[in-house]
């Protein structure tokens, strides 16, 4: 069974769980503006004209689309009915809504969850104009809770793709550890990983992030051609790939011994032990029913109690069809994270656990693991 068939079937179950009568996805020209939920709805996500994908809690799945988009959707055998139009979608859309007479209609807008915010403002205005004078205009609700569940609850096939993506990421990290040497620049490490990715017919899930030594710039900055590995440096590499459309996101680190050292110095070992202790604390807390902020809080406390500066990002995010997959976030209760950190952890979700501390004269000590909630 394809992932799209699995996810559309799963959608019906979640609609019933949340007592939502209809989920309506309204899109156009998806080669330009791509609603994130289309990955779970269509094998071929290319739609040219205004299109409506409708899934009901009674299990019916319907697509209304322009005439020349219909054939591929019909061929997938996923949808019970594919309705094509030439001049206007309005008549067919209203007819379908009148058939169901839903008490609520979930559409893809969200204040906090980008993965549930695929309805553009222009399409929102078009939808409202079509629904003027009908009872349905007051029945539109956000799909954010629904999509948090649909994207978060990975099927076994989705999880297998994530595991394979993680395996390839580990191989890329291993290549860096075995190949990188004194004098190699951040940019050369990045190029090494991009070449490895190409050799394996994959694509990266984000540009590789390379941080070497104390003068590097932590975060999402581009690898520098001028910062080169030297003795006493911490080397942090953040690298992930897509496998069959599913992402991994891993960080690994190395330390370059100085001439007088047989093992890393105390301050480096202490930083590494603190990072691992914090990640393990987060992993231990990551149980079904726990809110996202609670997982972040226990890991953050380990770092602060050890005397390090608080890290200015969430402990973890979901991975899946995107490297930042929306829904429940393992982060602090900061305004920018909104509702996402209040969601409860669920079985089948895949998260990152990541944080860093700075070690004076050596650089950033950072590790990131990918984990599945069981």
pLDDT band at 201 (very low <50, low <70, confident <90, very high): very high
Q: Do residue 107 and residue 182 come from a single domain? A: no
Rounded CA separation 195/173 (Å): 13
Q: Do residue 368 and residue 305 come from a single domain? A: yes
pLDDT in tens, 359-373: 999 999 999 999 999
**Residues 272 and 365: beta-carbon distance below 8 Å:** yes
Q: Do residue 142 and residue 176 come from a single domain? A: no
Q: Provide the CATH number for the domain around residue 26.
A: 3.40.350.10
Q: Do residue 280 and residue 178 come from a single domain? A: yes
- Please report, rounded to a whole number, the percentage of residues in the chain having pLDDT higher than 90: 96
Q: Do residue 27 and residue 103 come from a single domain? A: yes
Q: Which of 150, 168, 191 is the last residue of a domain?
A: 150
Range of the domain at 90: 3-150
| Tally of domains within the chain | 2
Q: Which of 135, 150, 165 is the last residue of a domain?
A: 150
Q: Do residue 182 and residue 142 come from a single domain? A: no
pTM: 0.94
Q: Do residue 27 and residue 162 come from a single domain? A: no
The burial of 88, by beta-carbon neighbours within 10 Å (0-12 exposed, 13-18 middle, 19 or more buried), is given as exposed
Q: Provide the CATH number for the domain around residue 271.
A: 3.90.230.10
**Residues 143 and 107: beta-carbon distance below 8 Å:** yes
Q: Do residue 114 and residue 251 come from a single domain? A: no
Q: Do residue 341 and residue 273 come from a single domain? A: yes
pLDDT in tens, 93-129: 999 999 999 999 999 999 999 999 999 999 999 999 9
Q: Which of 123, 150, 177 is the last residue of a domain?
A: 150
- The whole-number pLDDT of residue 67 equals 95
Q: Do residue 198 and residue 141 come from a single domain? A: no
Q: Do residue 142 and residue 201 come from a single domain? A: no
pLDDT in tens, 133-149: 999 999 999 999 999 99
Q: Do residue 47 and residue 143 come from a single domain? A: yes
- The whole-number pLDDT of residue 56 equals 98
| Residue-averaged pLDDT of the chain | 97
CB atoms within 10 A of CB 245: 14
**Residues 251 and 339: beta-carbon distance below 8 Å:** no
- The whole-number pLDDT of residue 43 equals 87
Residue 63 in this model has a pLDDT that exceeds 90: yes
pLDDT band at 182 (very low <50, low <70, confident <90, very high): very high
**Residues 90 and 55: beta-carbon distance below 8 Å:** no
Rounded CA separation 116/112 (Å): 9
pLDDT band at 217 (very low <50, low <70, confident <90, very high): confident
């Amino acid at each position: 069974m394809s992932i799209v068939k699995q996810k559309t079937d799963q959608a019906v179950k979640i609609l019933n769980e949340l007592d939502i009568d209809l989920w309506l996805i309204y899109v156009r020209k998806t080669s330009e503006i791509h609603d994130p939920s289309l990955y779970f709805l269509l094998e071929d996500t290319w739609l040219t004209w205004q299109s409506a994908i409708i899934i009901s809690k009674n299990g019916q799945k319907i697509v209304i689309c322009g005439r020349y988009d219909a054939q591929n959707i019909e061929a997938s055998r996923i949808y019970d009915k594919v309705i094509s139009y030439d001049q206007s979608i309005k008549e067919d859309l209203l007819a379908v809504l009148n058939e169901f007479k839903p008490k609520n209609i979930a559409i893809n807008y969200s204040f906090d969850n980008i993965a549930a915010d695929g309805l553009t403002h222009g399409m929102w205005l078009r939808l409202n104009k079509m629904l003027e004078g009908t009872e349905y205009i007051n029945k539109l609700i956000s799909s954010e809770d629904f999509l948090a569940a649909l994207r978060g609850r990975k099927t076994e096939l989705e999880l297998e793709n994530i595991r394979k993506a993680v395996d390839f990421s580990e191989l890329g990290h291993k290549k860096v550890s075995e190949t990188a040497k004194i004098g190699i620049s951040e940019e050369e490490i990045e190029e090494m990983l991009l070449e490895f990715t190409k050799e394996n017919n994959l694509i990266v899930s984000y540009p590789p992030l390379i941080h070497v030594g104390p003068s590097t710039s932590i975060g999402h900055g581009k690898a520098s051609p001028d910062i080169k590995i030297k003795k006493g440096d911490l080397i942090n590499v953040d690298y992930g790939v897509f496998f069959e459309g599913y992402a991994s996101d891993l960080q690994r680190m190395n330390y370059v011994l100085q001439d007088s050292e047989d093992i890393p110095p105390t301050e480096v070992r202490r930083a590494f032990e603190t990072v691992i202790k914090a990640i393990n604390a987060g992993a231990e807390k990551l149980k079904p029913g726990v809110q996202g902020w609670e997982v972040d809080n226990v890991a953050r406390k380990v770092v602060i109690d050890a005397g390090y500066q608080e890290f200015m990002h969430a402990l973890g995010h979901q991975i899946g069809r995107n490297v930042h997959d929306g829904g429940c976030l393992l982060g602090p209760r900061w305004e920018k994270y909104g509702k996402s950190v209040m969601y409860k952890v669920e079985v089948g979700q895949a998260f990152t656990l990541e944080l860093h501390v700075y070690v004076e004269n050596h650089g950033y000590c950072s590790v990131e693991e990918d984990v599945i909630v069981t």
